[in-house]
Structure 1
Amino acid sequence: MRPTVTRHVFVKRVKATLIDAFRQGRRLMRDAGHPILLLMIALSTLLWFAKPAPPKIVEMAAGRPTDYSFELAQRYVQFFARNGVELRLVPTQGALDNFERLKNTRDAVKVAMIQGGFADNPEDVTGLLSLGSIAYEPVWLFYWGDQADDVQRPLTELLKGPVSIGNIGSGTHAKALQLLKITGMTPRADSMYELPEDQAVEALKRREINAMLVVEHYESPLIQDLLKIDGLVVADFIRARAYAKLLGYIEVLHVPMGGFDLVRNFPKHDIQLLSTTTTLVIEDDLHPAIQMLFMEASAAIVGHERFFGDAKEFPSIKDPTIPLSAVAHQYFEKGAPTLSYYLPFWVAEFLERIGLLLVPFVAFAYPVMRSIPGFLINRARKRIERVYLELRRIEHEVSADFSPAMLDQKITALDRMAAEVLRIKIHKKLVAEFYALRSDIEFVRAVLIRLRQAEACSEEKTGLKP
C-alpha cells in the first residue's frame, strides 16, 4: 500500500517546486534578459493602448428624485452593481441641468439622461457622445374640455389660455419655448406660467389654469395620475408630422381610440402626440468598457417598452443632434461582445478590444520567442569562448614565466576555472563543446602539474650536489 503523503511533506514539495520555478525564472531573466525585456515593453505598449482598467465608480446626472427618469436610472444602478461597478446618481434640477453639468468638464458627472433637442448647434455638444435613445418622452398638453369637440383645435389656440409651460431649467420649459417659437408665438407672462410640475398639477386640478404642458414618460406616476382625471383631455397634435419635419429630434406617436382607458373610451378618437426621446449622453473620454456596459444595461432595462415602443425598439438611434459613440455604433452593428455571455463584462470587453492589437503583438513576439533558444546558445558559446581565451592567456603567461610560484598560481586558477565551468547551464546542442572545454582545461592542468613535478625534481637534484 502506498504511504499517505502528510500535509507537511506536501507543503515542502510545493515550496521546493516554487523555489525551483523562481530560480529558473531568475536564471532565464539573467540569461535571456534582452529578448524578454523587448517582449515586456511590447506587452506594456499593448496594455497601454487597450486601456485595461475601467473605473469602478461612475457618476450619472439623473434629474429630480421625483422624476420617472430618476427611477429609471436606479435600474441602471442595480445592473451596474451586479457587474461590479458603482453607478452613483447625482440629483439635479432637471434635464437642462443634466446637460449643463455634463458639459462642464470640471464636473465629476460622466453620464446624463438628456431629452432630445437641447443641442441647438454643434458647439453645444463638443466633447459629448450619444449612447442612443432609451425611451420615448412625449410632449403632453392636458387641458379641460371635451376631446370630441376639439378635434381640429391647433396648438396655438390651446396655448392661449392660462397654461403652465414648466419651470425655467426644466426640459418641459425648453420644449415649450421651442414649440412656441416654431409656431410664431411668444411667451406671455399674463397667461403662460412657469410652474414646477407638482405646482402645475395642483393648479390644474383646482382649475386655476386651463392647461398644462409637460414632457414626461408615459410610465411616470404624474402622467398616470393625470390620465385618470375625468374631464381632462390630452391634446391631439393634428400637425404632428409637420413638427417632426421641422424638428429633427421629434417623433410622432399614435394613440388609438380608447388607448388610455377602454372603460371611459379615452381618448374618444385616435390622436397623435409629439415626442422627444431620452438619450444617454456621455463625455467622450468615458472608458469603452463602461460605454458597452451602458449599452447592455439599456437593452436589458428599456428593451421591452410596452405602450409606445415596439419590442426591442430601444436602445436605438433617434436623436441626430448628438454624435454617436463608436462603441454604441459597434453595438448597434454587431451587438454585445460574444465573450460577454461567458465572462465578466470588463474581461470580455478588454479581450474583445485587444483582439486586433494582439495581431501585431504576436507578429512581433513570435520571432522574438523563437530567437530566445538561439540567443541562449550564442550566449553560452561566448562564455565557452571566454574560458578558452582565459586558458590561452594562462598558457602565454606560463611560457613567459616558468617559475614554480607561477606554476602553482596557474594550477590553482585552472582548478577554479574547472569548478566555474561545471556551473554553466549548457544547451544540449553545446554538450560536445562543453566536454571538449573540460578536457582541454584538464589537459592544460595536467601539463602544468607535470612541469611543476619536473621543476621539483630538478630542485632536489640541485640541492644534493656537493
Structure 2
Amino acid sequence: MKYKFFTISIPILLLVIASFYVTSKFIKPPPKKEITIATGSKSGNYYKTALIYKELLEKENVKVNLLTSAGSIENINLLKENKADIAFLQNGTIKNNQEGIKSLASIYYEPLWVFYRNEGFPINYVIQLISKKISIGREGSGTKDLALKVLKDNGINQDNSQIFNYDASKAREELEKGNIDAMFVVSSHKSDTIKELLANPKINILSFKRAKAYSRKYPFLEALNLYEGTLDLYKNLPDENIGLLSTTANLVVKDGFSEELIRLVLKKVKEVHNKKDLFAKAEQFPNALNMQLEMHEEAQRYFEYGDTWLEKIFPYWIASNIDRLKLLIIPLLTLLFPLFKGFFPLFKGFFPLYTWTMRSKIYRWYEEVKNLDNSIDSLESKDLRVQLEKVQKLRQEIQKETKVPLSFMGEYYNLQLHLDLIENKIEKKLS
C-alpha cells in the first residue's frame, strides 16, 4: 500500500508543481491598494461624500487621495490626464463615447435650485429672469453646464442678461447683498448653502412649473417635488411645495483601473447610499440607470449579480485573492481529488454533504409553503386574498434569497410549481 501511494502520488505532485508554474504566468498581480478620487470644492457635497468613502476604504487598508477641483468638467480632464482614478460627475454634463472613461454608478439625486431676490412678486418661469444679473456656477462645474442649457431654452444669454461665474458660496453672498438677482446651483438638499438660502426671508426659490417638460427634453433630468416643511418642520422649510428639476451624481472611472478595487468601491458606495433619503426610496441608489456614459463591465456585473459567494463568506481581500488564484486552485483540486479520495475515506462524504447543503436552501421553504397550503380550506374570501398576497411575497423572497447551481434547478422549479398550485387553489376558491 505504501509503495502504491508513492508511485501514484509523486507523479501527481510533480504534475501539480508544473501546473502551478504554467498557470502562474497568467495570473494578474494584486492591485496597488491606492485610489485617487477627483471631487469638487471642499465646501461641496462631492468632497463630503468622498470623505465618507475614504474612511470606509481605509478600513480595508486602501489608501485614498482626494483631489479637489472646480467640478464635473474639470474632473473629466483629471481622469484623462491620469491624475485621478475615479471622479464625481454630474449626470448630463458630458455625452457618450468619452474615450477611456466609463460609468460606475449613479449615487444620489442632485436637484437644480434657482434662488432669486424677494422683491415682492414671485418668479414662476425661468424666462422672467431675462435682463437680470444671474450667477450660473464657476467655470468647469456641472452647474454652469446645466444652467446654460436651461437659460438657452428660455432665450436668455449674455446679450440680454448679465451672466456671472460664481461658485455657490460667492453667489450666495452676492445674492444676499443684492449685487445679483438670481443664482443657479446644483447640489444635494443636505448642503448648508441650500438650507440657509431657504431659511432667508429675503430670498425666494423658483418652483419649476414645467419640470416635466424639461425632463422630457433632457433624459438625464427628473421632476421632483419638495414638499412644505420636509427640510425642517419647526422652521417650515420650505414654506410651500416646490417643483424641482434634478439630475444625479455619478461616479466615473478611467478605463483599465483595477476591477478588484472597482468592486470594493461599489461595495462601500452601496453601504453609504442604499438608505431611504428625502427624494429616494431605500435601495434605489446606487444604480446603473439612465447613464450618459458607457457602463464599466465590472460595475455592470456587480449591479447584475451582487457580491460573489466568496465575498459573502470571506473578508473582501481574502475573497479577492482566492478568486485571483482560482487558475491554480481549480487544477490543483482536480489533480489531487483522486489521490485524496483513494487514501482519505473522509473525502468520500464530501459530495453528499455538498448536495445536502444545496438542497437545504430549497427545502427550508417547504415548512412555510405547507402551512400556507393547510390554512386555505378554513379561510373566508377576505382572508384568502391576504393569503394570496403572502404567497406572492413568499415567491419574491424565494427568488431573491435562493441561489443554487444549475444542477439543482429542478428542485428549485418544483418549489415554484408548488407555489403555483397554492395560488391556483386560492384563486379557484375566490372565483
State if a TM-score over 0.5 links the two structures.
Answer: yes
**Matching residue's letter, 1:245:** R
- Within 5 A, what are the aligned runs for 1:126-205? 126-145=99-118, 150=122, 153-158=124-129, 160-188=131-159, 190-205=161-176
2:218 pairs with 1:241: no
Contact 1:291–1:327 under 8 Å retained in 2:
yes
Percent identical pairs in the alignment equals 28
Aligned to 2:291: 320
Aligned to 2:51: 74
Q: What whole-Å deviation, never above 9, does each CA across 1:369-388 have from its counterpart, x for those lacking one?
A: 89xxxxxxxxxxxxxxxxxx
2:88 pairs with 1:119: no
- Aligned equivalents of 1:266 and 1:32: distance in 2? 74
- Within 5 A, what are the aligned runs for 1:447-462? none
* Post-superposition offset of 1:178: 1.9
- Aligned equivalents of 2:241 and 2:337: distance in 1? 71
SS of 1:63 mapped into structure 2:
coil
Aligned to 1:225: 196
- Aligned equivalents of 1:315 and 1:176: distance in 2? 25
* Post-superposition offset of 1:307: 1.5
* Post-superposition offset of 1:108: 3.4
- Aligned equivalents of 2:256 and 2:145: distance in 1? 28
- Aligned equivalents of 1:185 and 1:369: distance in 2? 80
- TM-score normalised according to structure 2 size: 0.69
Of the structure 1 ranges 241-250 and 183-192, higher mean CA displacement relative to structure 2 is found in 183-192
* Post-superposition offset of 1:270: 2.4
- Aligned equivalents of 2:205 and 2:324: distance in 1? 49
* Unaligned ranges ≥5, structure 2: 1-5, 341-431
SS of 1:202 mapped into structure 2:
helix
**Matching residue's letter, 1:110:** D
- Aligned equivalents of 2:55 and 2:70: distance in 1? 23
- TM-score normalised according to structure 1 size: 0.65
Shift in CA distance, 159/227, structure 1 to aligned 2, threshold 3 Å: farther
SS of 1:199 mapped into structure 2:
helix
SS of 1:259 mapped into structure 2:
coil
- Aligned equivalents of 1:40 and 1:298: distance in 2? 36
Aligned to 2:20: 40
- Within 5 A, what are the aligned runs for 1:304-343? 304-343=275-314
Contact 1:180–1:187 under 8 Å retained in 2:
no
SS of 1:313 mapped into structure 2:
coil
- Aligned equivalents of 2:196 and 2:20: distance in 1? 63
Aligned to 2:250: 279
- Within 5 A, what are the aligned runs for 1:252-271? 252-263=223-234, 265-271=236-242
Contact 2:90–2:248 under 8 Å retained in 1:
yes
- Aligned equivalents of 1:318 and 1:145: distance in 2? 38
* Post-superposition offset of 1:273: 0.8
* Post-superposition offset of 1:350: 4.1
Structure number with larger C-alpha Rg: 1
* Post-superposition offset of 1:205: 0.6
* Count of residues paired in the alignment: 334
* Unaligned ranges ≥5, structure 1: 1-24, 371-466
Shift in CA distance, 350/192, structure 1 to aligned 2, threshold 3 Å: same
* Post-superposition offset of 1:192: 1.7
Deviation >6 Å, runs of 4+: 31-34, 366-370
